[in-house]
A and B are shown apart, each in its own frame.
Chain A
Amino acid sequence: MRAAAEPQADDLILSIREVKKHYPIREGALQRVVGHVRAVDGVSFDIRRGETVGLVGESGCGKTTLGRVIAALADPTEGGVHYNMDGMMSRIDRLEGKAARAFRRNCQMVFQDSFASLNPRHLVIDLVGRPLKVYNEATSANLIERVVELLEQVGLGRQHLYRYPHQFSGGQRQRISIARALALNPEVIVLDEPTSALDVSVQAQILNLLNDLQKERNLAYLFVTHDLSVVRHMADRLVVMYLGKVAEAGETQAIFDSPHHPYTRELMAAKPDLEADANVEVRGLEGNVPDPARPPRGCRFHTRCELATPACGWEVDDVVRWLEDAPGMFEHLVGVERQTDFAARLAFDSEEAAGLLSMAVRSEQVPEAMRAAMRRLNLDGDKVEIEFEDVGEIGLTARDDGRMAACVLSPEEVASWKRT
Chain B
Amino acid sequence: MLDAKHGGATVASVRDLKVHFQSKRGVVHAVDGVSFDIRDGETLGLVGETGCGKSVTGRSFLRLLPVPPGILAGGSVMFSAHEVCTGCEGTGCETCEGTGRKAGQDRSVNLLGIPSEDMRRIRGDRIAMIFQDPGKALNPTLPVGAQIAEVFLQHRTDELIALAGLPADTVGAVRRFASQSPRLGDGWLLSLPGARAQRRRVEEALATMVAGALAETQVPNPAKLMARYPHELSGGMRQRVMIAQALACNPDLLIADEPTTALDVTVEARILELIRNLQQRRKTSVLYISHDLSLVRRISDRVAVMYAGRIVEIGTTTEVFANPRHPYTRGLMAAVPGADTPRGRLAAIRGTVPELVDPPAACRFCGRCPYETSACRNNDPFLEAITPSHLVACFIDHPAPSGERPNYGRVTA
A interface, CB within 8 angstroms of B: 23, 25, 27, 56-60, 64-65, 112-113, 115-116, 155-157, 159, 162-163, 166-172, 175, 193, 196-205, 207-208, 211-212, 215, 226, 228-230, 232-234, 266-267, 270-276, 278, 282-285, 288-293
Contacts and interface: CB of A to CB of B under 8 A. Distances in A.
Given A64-B235, A284-B270, A275 B338 contact: yes
A8 B186 CA distance: 53
B258 A197 contact: yes
B293 A196 contact: no
B51 A230 contact: no
Contacts of A199: 47-50, 291, 332
Contacts of A115: 133, 135-136
B266 A267 contact: yes
B348 A204 contact: yes
Contact of A169 (B55, B66, B331): B55
B132 interface: yes
A196 B262 contact: yes
Nearest to B331: A201
Given A198-B50, A272-B294, A203 B267 contact: no
A208 B263 contact: no
Interface of B: 21, 23-25, 47-52, 54-55, 66, 69, 132-136, 215, 218-221, 224, 227, 232-237, 240, 258, 261-270, 272, 291, 293-294, 297-298, 317, 321, 331-333, 335-339, 341, 343-349, 352, 355
A317 to B, nearest CB: 12
Contacts of B294: 272-274, 276
Nearest to A155: B352
Contacts of A208: 344-346, 348
Contacts of B134: 113
Contacts of A270: 265-266, 269
A60 B215 CA distance: 15
B7 to A, nearest CB: 22
Contacts of A228: 265
A65 B266 CA distance: 21
A59 B241 CA distance: 13
A201 B348 contact: yes
A115 B140 CA distance: 13
Nearest to A192: B235
A170 B337 CA distance: 21
B339 A113 contact: no
A58 B263 CA distance: 8
A201 B69 CA distance: 28
Query: By CB atoms of chain B within 10 A, which of A59, A205, A288 has the most?
Result: A59
Given A60-B237, A291-B220, A271 B265 contact: yes
B220 A226 contact: no
B355 A159 contact: yes
A283 B269 contact: yes
Contacts of B236: 59-60
12 contacts: A57-B264, A159-B355, A196-B261, A198-B50, A205-B348, A208-B346, A211-B343, A212-B344, A229-B336, A267-B266, A270-B266, A278-B321
A228 B337 CA distance: 10
A267 to B, nearest CB: 7
A229 B340 CA distance: 10
In terms of DSSP, what is the predominant structure of the interface of chain B? loop
A229 B258 CA distance: 18
A166 B66 contact: yes
Given A170-B258, A208-B345, A200 B336 contact: yes
A116 B268 CA distance: 23
Query: By CB atoms of chain A within 10 A, which of B218, B219, B355 has the most?
Result: B218
B82 to A, nearest CB: 28
A284 B217 CA distance: 12
Given A58-B264, A172-B51, A278-B298, A201 B335 contact: yes
Contacts of B49: 199, 201-202
Given A112-B235, A204-B349, 20 more contacts: A27-B227, A58-B266, A60-B234, A64-B234, A65-B234, A115-B133, A157-B352, A163-B23, A197-B258, A200-B335, A202-B49, A208-B348, A226-B263, A233-B337, A272-B294, A274-B294, A282-B265, A284-B269, A284-B270, A289-B219
Contacts of A155: 352
Nearest to B342: A233
Query: By CB atoms of chain B within 10 A, which of A204, A234, A285 has the most?
Result: A204
A276 to B, nearest CB: 7
**Which 4 pairs across A and B sit closest by C-beta, in order of nearness?**
A59-B236, A171-B50, A284-B269, A211-B344
Contact of A59 (B55, B237, B269, B348): B237
Contacts of A59: 234-237, 240, 262-264, 267
Query: By CB atoms of chain A within 10 A, which of B220, B224, B237, B293 has the most?
Result: B220
Contacts of A202: 49-50, 348
B220 A60 contact: yes
A113 B235 contact: yes
A226 B263 CA distance: 7
Given A64-B234, A193-B262, A203 B338 contact: no
Nearest to B352: A155
Given A162-B24, A200-B293, A293-B221, A267 B265 contact: yes
A284 B352 contact: no
Given A59-B234, A113-B235, A197-B132, A170 B66 contact: no
Contacts of B132: 170, 197
